[in-house]
Amino acid sequence: MQFGAVLQTHPPASRTLALAKLAEQHGFEYAWTFDSHLLWEEPYVIYSQILNETHRIKVGPMVTNPATRDWTVTASIFATLNEMYGNRTICGIGRGDSAVRATNGAPTTLKTLRESIHVIRELANSRPVEYNGATVQFPWSHGSELEVWVAAYGPLALKLTGEVGDGFILQLADLDIAEWMIKTVRDAAEKAGRDPLSIRFCVAAPMYIGDDWQHMRDQCRWFGGMVGNHVADIVSKYGADSSVPKALTDYIAGRQGYDYNEHGQAGNTHAEFVPDEIVDRFCLLGPAENHIKKLRALKELGVDQFAGYLQHDNKEETLRVYGESVIPALRDHITATA
């Protein structure tokens, strides 16, 4: 299993850079960031600095969207970073959440998402593509490589992921939900004539090393509120009795709106409806052995990467314990069972 750290580009940028460097030192292979240009600093500027001051870590958004950024510009950024620093980028993409809702916009259609994935991937892999009726290509780009991983929750978005995604990003660490979603994506891939095992699976959720359970839960409760935004869209579209697991849909019954100015922040007052049980199921909390046990279970389900959110008050210690205990245990486990 590989590991990523999910950072928020809250100023100062030097803090984001320091955490990315620390993550690499502790064995993490990926430094992901939010991509909400109004709420936080511009991530693509910071990626260049991270790549310049690290050696092997890959960078990318978790996640960008097709609405707030021109697709060709997005592709050009990745291709440029790859030319400058080697192929050390990855693109997470979804229909849009905080970046579009902060301007009273709405997530894009799945059709738009599908088209954007194709355009971004072809251009960022130094290939020509049809865009707005023209054949376009970066004449300066040679040998650039970019995988596009799709973030999804609902049945149709999961189907799209299986059909076109290089990877799938599931933003929660509930074992039952992960099992259902991985199977749904793989089934869609098989029906589309793809190798289901060719798709990489990433589970992204807050990771907090500690022993004060109430404090940890309160620091990570924001995540259930963030996931709730996507679940509310699913319930609105498919109803509460859809094929989506009840473990994902039932908890939002008490949801009463959301303030994106508190998005992704510990202490988010619009996440009070999220019960402790959901925080425990969606996140990785507690001592190292708790994290190792859950990560091994996720690995058995087919998860290739765990990306841990660090939007809490124990960032450095969590990275340290992962580097010294959690990551080695997962790597030893893989070797022992190979």
Angle at CA 137, nearest 5°, toward 136 and 139?
A: 135
Number of neighbours of residue 328 by Cβ within 10 angstroms:
13
Written as six digits, the tokens of 134 are 């023209």
pLDDT at residue 323, as a whole number: 98
Contact 23, 53 (CB under 8 A): no
Contact 74, 93 (CB under 8 A): no
pLDDT at residue 273, as a whole number: 81
Written as six digits, the tokens of 274 are 């999220």
Spatial CA neighbour of 112 closest among 60, 66, 61: 66
pLDDT at residue 338, as a whole number: 36
Strands (E), 198-327: 200-209, 284-286, 305-309
Contact 116, 92 (CB under 8 A): no
Radius of gyration over alpha carbons of the chain, in Å? 19
Written as six digits, the tokens of 198 are 């060719």
pLDDT at residue 39, as a whole number: 86
> Which residues 6+ apart lie within 8 Å of 214 measured at CB?
none
Contact 89, 99 (CB under 8 A): no
Contact 157, 141 (CB under 8 A): no
Spatial CA neighbour of 86 closest among 144, 21, 148, 3: 144
Q: How many CA atoms lie within 13 A of 207 on its CB side?
A: 30
How far is residue 216 from each of residues 121, 222, 280, measured CA to CA in Å?
38, 11, 10
Question: What is the pTM assigned to this prediction?
Answer: 0.89
pLDDT at residue 336, as a whole number: 40
Contact 202, 302 (CB under 8 A): no
Residues facing residue 131 across a β-bridge: 134
Low-confidence stretches of the chain (pLDDT beneath 70): 96-102, 105, 228-244, 247, 252-270, 332-338
pLDDT at residue 227, as a whole number: 82
d(CA 317, CA 326): 12
131-137, Cβ contacts within 8 angstroms, sequence gap of 24 or more: 131/71, 131/72, 136/72
Which residue in this structure is represented by tokens 């009463």? Answer: 256
pLDDT at residue 275, as a whole number: 87
pLDDT at residue 36, as a whole number: 87
Written as six digits, the tokens of 172 are 């929660």
DSSP structural state of residue 322:
I
d(CA 230, CA 181): 15
DSSP structural state of residue 324:
I
SS3 259: coil
d(CA 44, CA 51): 11
